[in-house]
Structure 1
Amino acid sequence: MLKISHVSRRFGNKLAVDDVTLEIPQGQMVGIIGRSGAGKSTLLRMINRLSDVSSGYIDYEGSRVSELKGQALRGWQRDCAMIFQQFNLVPRLDVITNVMLGRLNGRNPLLNLLQVFSADEQFAALKALERLDIAQTATQWAQTLSGGQQQRVAIARALMQGPRMILADEPIASLDPRNAQIVMDSLRDINAEGKITVITNLHTLDTARAYCERIIGMAAGKVVFDGTPDELTTDVARTIYGADGLKEAFSEALTSTSITPLTLKTSSAQPAP
């Protein structure tokens, strides 16, 4: 169980995340939606401890994550893998080495410096690439791959950490429709097969509804919705995106993924936009 209790993050006079309280059981696939600037990325970064909380606390299985330091913090960041929108690969290293970099946390620093990896680590990296259906790219430079392939390499690198949780920050925002679907299918399969908690920030309603069993909506740093896809009515979506942003969220969903758009249920006589 991941417990986020009254967590806020302040940047100067601005509250990027404002008094968020959530409980996420192990093995859930959760989509966090909202407009740009809603606080989605900041929340994920605090869970992973790339950013510290300004107030409140984060717990995982009895450990106070928000207060971890040193080796304990490195252990948490190994267990809680992060996938970024921009992949964060090393362009002039081959794919398999990029994947094996997922093992750096907890290894001998000298071996890391020399980029020395065992046969077992190489085999595990190939298995991870095979799972993402890109084992054939293992010896290519990362910079030669398409965006979708690079994101799958980033997911394989996260799997090399042996994580119990994967945080994905807008993982399909820069991908074409086909690759967006492949990446989301991969995250769903990882969640289902390994019972790994997946928490992913998504900008579009349809993608979240198609893939996530639980959806959290954020607006102005606050959680304004927490429920199932079926509970995400038009009125709720307006609360998350605003009247002008809702149309944008749907139009982006049509162009950013190849998923058949889902129709929001209305919760009042007011017609859907």
Structure 2
Amino acid sequence: MFELKNVSRRFGNKLAVDSVTLDIPQGQMVGVIGRSGAGKSTLLRMINRLADPSSGSIHFAGTEVSKLRGRALRSWQRDCAMIFQQFNLVPRLDVLTNVMLGRLNQRSTMLSLLAIFSREERIEAIAALERLGIEQTALQMAGTLSGGQQQRVAIARALMQQPKMMLADEPIASLDPLNAKIVMDALRDINEREGITVITNLHTLDTARNYCERIVGMAAGRVVFDGKPAELTAEAVKEIYGTDKDGAGIDETMTSTAINLSDPSAQGAASPSAGPQPLALAGL
């Protein structure tokens, strides 16, 4: 069980996250929705301990995560992988090396920086790339890839951490609908096959409904909705997002990431497993 107990975060006089309490069982896929500035990203950063709570506590499997320091904190950040909207890859390094850097907290920093990896680590990284359908990019510089490809590399890097939990901070915000589907399919596959808890911030309601078994809605730093997708009614959406100047609720079609997959070629492109034959492992 992962627990947040009355967690708050202040930035000066601004209360970015206000007394959030959540219990998340292992293996859930949770979507966090809300307007910009609702506190979604700050919440994920506190879970990963990139930011410290101003008050309250965070617990995982009996350990108070919010008190961890030093090596114990680095171990938690290994177990709680973070995927960022901006990808956070090293553009001048090849894709394979970027993926293997997911082992940074499990080995010597100097060995990682010098790109000294074992054959087993290289094979595991290639397998992660194959799973995401981008093994053919292994030797390309990360900066030459499209946004969708870079996000899949970031997910492969997170898999290399062998995490117990995966956090994704608006992972599809800058992607087109096709790449958004590929990325969300990959996160759901990881959740279902490995049983890894996935918590993802999303700005599109249809994505949250289609992929997440539980949705948490935030407004002004507080949780104002916590339930199943079917329970996310028009009234609940209004409470999360508010209304326009005429009092009307949000038009969900404006945020839709739906794509038309009636074209067989589009279906093939949308599959994370589609692509060239696996890269040969000989000599790695």
* Short-chain TM bin: over 0.9
Where 2:190 maps in the other structure, the secondary structure is helix
Q: CA offset at residue 64 of structure 1?
A: 0.4
Residue 92 of structure 1 pairs with residue 96 of structure 2: no
CA distance in 2, matches of 1:60, 1:41: 19
Number of the residue aligned with 1:161: 161
Number of the residue aligned with 1:271: none
Residue 252 of structure 1 pairs with residue 255 of structure 2: yes
Q: CA offset at residue 111 of structure 1?
A: 1.0
CA distance in 2, matches of 1:104, 1:67: 22
Q: CA offset at residue 108 of structure 1?
A: 1.5
The one-character-per-residue Cα deviations of 1:100-148 (angstroms, maximum 9, x if unpaired) are 0000112023312322100010000000000101101100111111110
Q: CA offset at residue 259 of structure 1?
A: 7.6
Count of equivalent residues: 258
Number of the residue aligned with 1:26: 26
Q: CA offset at residue 252 of structure 1?
A: 2.0
The one-character-per-residue Cα deviations of 1:172-215 (angstroms, maximum 9, x if unpaired) are 00001100000000000000000000000001111100000000
Q: CA offset at residue 165 of structure 1?
A: 0.4
Number of the residue aligned with 1:194: 194
Query: Which amino acid letter does the alignment assign opposite residue 9 of structure 1?
Result: R
Number of the residue aligned with 1:176: 176
CA distance in 1, matches of 2:249, 2:204: 9
Residue 81 of structure 1 pairs with residue 81 of structure 2: yes
| Greater mean deviation of Cα atoms: 107-116 or 44-53 | 107-116
Query: Which amino acid letter does the alignment assign opposite residue 117 of structure 1?
Result: F
Number of the residue aligned with 1:267: none
**Structure 1: unaligned runs, 5 residues or longer:** 261-273
Query: Which amino acid letter does the alignment assign opposite residue 254 of structure 2?
Result: S
Decide whether the 8 Å contact of 1:203 with 1:249 is kept in 2. Answer: no
CA distance in 2, matches of 1:170, 1:6: 24
Alignment of 1:13-52 (within 5 A): 13-52=13-52
**Structure 2: unaligned runs, 5 residues or longer:** 262-284
Decide whether the 8 Å contact of 1:4 with 1:23 is kept in 2. Answer: yes
Decide whether the 8 Å contact of 1:205 with 1:250 is kept in 2. Answer: no
The one-character-per-residue Cα deviations of 1:26-61 (angstroms, maximum 9, x if unpaired) are 000000000000000000000000000000000000
Decide whether the 8 Å contact of 2:237 with 2:250 is kept in 1. Answer: no
Number of the residue aligned with 2:124: 124
Residue 144 of structure 1 pairs with residue 147 of structure 2: no
Tell me the TM-score normalized by structure 1: 0.92
CA distance in 1, matches of 2:2, 2:27: 11
Decide whether the 8 Å contact of 1:204 with 1:250 is kept in 2. Answer: no
Cα gap change, 1:130 to 1:223, in 2 (>3 Å): same
CA distance in 2, matches of 1:104, 1:172: 25
Q: CA offset at residue 71 of structure 1?
A: 0.3
Decide whether the 8 Å contact of 1:78 with 1:163 is kept in 2. Answer: yes
Decide whether the 8 Å contact of 2:166 with 2:196 is kept in 1. Answer: yes
Percent identity among equivalent residues? 71
Q: CA offset at residue 77 of structure 1?
A: 0.2
Tell me the TM-score normalized by structure 2: 0.89
Number of the residue aligned with 2:215: 215
CA distance in 2, matches of 1:169, 1:196: 16
Decide whether the 8 Å contact of 1:2 with 1:25 is kept in 2. Answer: yes
RMSD: 1.3
CA distance in 2, matches of 1:4, 1:191: 21
CA distance in 1, matches of 2:250, 2:138: 41
Q: Which runs of 4+ in 1 moved over 6 A?
A: none
Q: CA offset at residue 243 of structure 1?
A: 1.2
CA distance in 2, matches of 1:93, 1:216: 37
Decide whether the 8 Å contact of 1:180 with 1:257 is kept in 2. Answer: no
Decide whether the 8 Å contact of 1:58 with 1:66 is kept in 2. Answer: yes
Where 2:250 maps in the other structure, the secondary structure is helix
Query: Which amino acid letter does the alignment assign opposite residue 52 of structure 2?
Result: D
Q: CA offset at residue 16 of structure 1?
A: 0.2
Cα gap change, 1:246 to 1:176, in 2 (>3 Å): farther
